A and B are shown apart, each in its own frame.
Chain A
Amino acid sequence: MSRRLPLSEGAGVLILATVLSPALWLVQMSFRHNADIMSTRMIFTPTLENYAALWTGEFPGSFVNSLLASGLSTAVSLLLGVPAAYALARWRFRGERHVALWILATRMAPPIAFTIPFFLAFSWAGLMDTVAGLAIIYVTFNLALVIWSMRGFFAAVPRSLEEAAWIDGCGVWGAFLRIALPLAAPGLAATGILCFILSWNDFFYALILTRTRAMTAPVAIVNFMQYAGWEWGKIAAAGVMVMLPVLVFTFFVRNYFVSGLMAGGVKE
């Protein structure tokens, strides 16, 4: 094993650079003057004019909508999912296997299968083109993830600590809020961030279930492409804005990301 390529570090760096180069190209494009965008010269005078142009259009509003829908769905999913996960981790239920199956089902089903019923129900309930409606959709998916991953984190908290709290006069809720929750706080943060990223990244539901008022940032970018002609500088700048929060958050949850995406797929 130790005889293996002493070069794997070098090869790894090269491969990573190649893999990331398309994304970096987008970033440098966002800082070019529009007249400069077709040129391949790597030396150019950077400009913020693309970002300034974004600021005056409908993009800031859609960015706020994205923040609201993702934030709201994350908050609601944690509020409902965390106590449920705690109950699942501490008391045996008959439906335990069903939870895993349910998570897998929400993870597997093609979004188009959910979109048609939601579209019809939302039109009827007046939830079309609202941030609240979008948040409801995201909750149905995030809730499964929250219950699954938080159950794992609570299971890792030693039970004896809560039993001691019960003896000291804490109720079940008291032990949950004062002992289990603080101990599972890192897991809670990771789960919340993961929910936020998954909602933030959504394009399909937002495309279909919003029009103008609740349009999210990913949909706004596509509108630049279709209606505003090919303003590549502006498109690139919007792309950078949309990916920035995700990259920052990912850095914090880098160790949980893959297991989060596989939730429900592997037995613990």
Chain B
Amino acid sequence: MLAAVTLGPALYLIVTSLTPLTPVNPDTAFDFSDPAGNYTAILTTDEFWRSVWVQIELSAVTVATQVAAGLGLALLLDRPSRFLEVLRTGFLVPMVLPPIVVAIIWKILYTPDISPLHHLLAWLGLPIHSLITNPDTAIWAIAAADTWEWFPFTMLMLLAALQMVPKEPQEAAVIDGANALQLFWHVRLPYIRPTLMVAVLFRLIDSIKAFPLIYVLTDGGPGGATQVTNYYAFEQTFSFSYWGYGSAVATLMVAGVFLLSVVVNRLGGEAIDE
């Protein structure tokens, strides 16, 4: 039954991706006259390749900032203290908030009329134009919001990992005169590396699914500047009713995510074996 629930839709998706299905024309449902048609169309469409590039940019930036911020804060807060434990709960807030609420919060921050951020910058003598209506900055605005939402995830995972690092080697390293950087690099990092890899994998995969932020903040715009592949598939399917085409894009995405997880898993495995 488990398999049916997951595999059923997957098979249906692949079948649909081989047809030119569109609800406007019911005859297209099981028309397999040109099974590879959608795929050749996708691979020769600039808009698709652009969406892949936007996706790579967004994923690379958000994963990097989330890991950097998460690791930095985890190291800062990793002390046995009742107070810091309570503080950690507060950091859960951005990631548990309904994503749509996160999107509203950032829509407010990015709308010059009502944004405390814009007011503050104007007051400091540094007025800026809206970041989400400018094609050059829109993707970074999304990345900033996404980082805010998800750095607590990497932070809490890494905190848990840091607390599992045995005390003896750390004490030995301090006695041997290791400085804070050496202590981190040679003693603690090897212990937390597997967790770090899992965090990267999870964030990377989730970054491909990012939807509410883009839907509310930019709607894929301006001019496709924030149209990631997921959004491209959504628009093609549900705005333009190209069901077969959208299914083919979605199938490629599933294949991409699968490959990605295999690669990261292997890299992670090597890192652990070292």
Taking Cβ atoms with an 8 Å cutoff, the residues of A that contact B are 1, 4-5, 8-9, 11-13, 15-16, 19-20, 22-23, 25-26, 29, 37-38, 40, 98-99, 102, 104-118, 120-121, 140, 143-144, 197, 200-201, 203-204, 207-208, 218, 221-222, 225, 232, 235-236, 239, 242-243, 246-247, 250-251, 254, 257-258, 261-262, 265-266
Give the docked Cα–Cα distance between A200 and B174 (Å): 48
Selected contact of A1 from candidates B104, B157, B174, B233, CB within 8 Å:
B174
Contact A108 B101 (CB under 8 A): no
Give the docked Cα–Cα distance between A143 and B174 (Å): 47
With an 8 Å Cβ cutoff, the count of chain B residues facing the other chain is 75
> Which residues does chain B contribute within 8 Å of A108, judged by CB atoms?
205, 257-258, 261
Binary contact track B103-124/A, C-beta < 8 Å → 1, others 0? 0111111000110100100000
Contact B76 A262 (CB under 8 A): no
Assuming A19-B94, A109-B257, what are 13 further A-B pairs, CB within 8 angstroms? A20-B90, A23-B97, A40-B116, A109-B254, A111-B209, A114-B9, A116-B16, A117-B13, A143-B2, A207-B215, A218-B212, A239-B104, A246-B97
Selected contact of B96 from candidates A12, A13, A109, A246, CB within 8 Å:
A246
Give the docked Cα–Cα distance between A203 and B99 (Å): 8
With A26-B101, A114-B9, A232-B114 as contacts: A250 and B87 at CB distance below 8 Å:
no
Closest to A20 in B: B93
CB distance from B112 to the nearest CB of A (A): 10
CB distance from B92 to the nearest CB of A (A): 6
With A112-B237, A203-B99 as contacts: A15 and B73 at CB distance below 8 Å:
yes
With A16-B91, A40-B119, A112-B237 as contacts: A9 and B81 at CB distance below 8 Å:
yes
* 28 contacting pairs across A/B (C-beta < 8 A): A8-B76, A9-B83, A12-B84, A13-B87, A15-B73, A22-B108, A98-B3, A108-B261, A110-B253, A111-B209, A113-B13, A114-B9, A116-B237, A121-B12, A144-B2, A201-B98, A222-B215, A222-B216, A242-B98, A243-B98, A246-B97, A250-B92, A250-B96, A254-B92, A257-B96, A258-B157, A265-B201, A265-B202
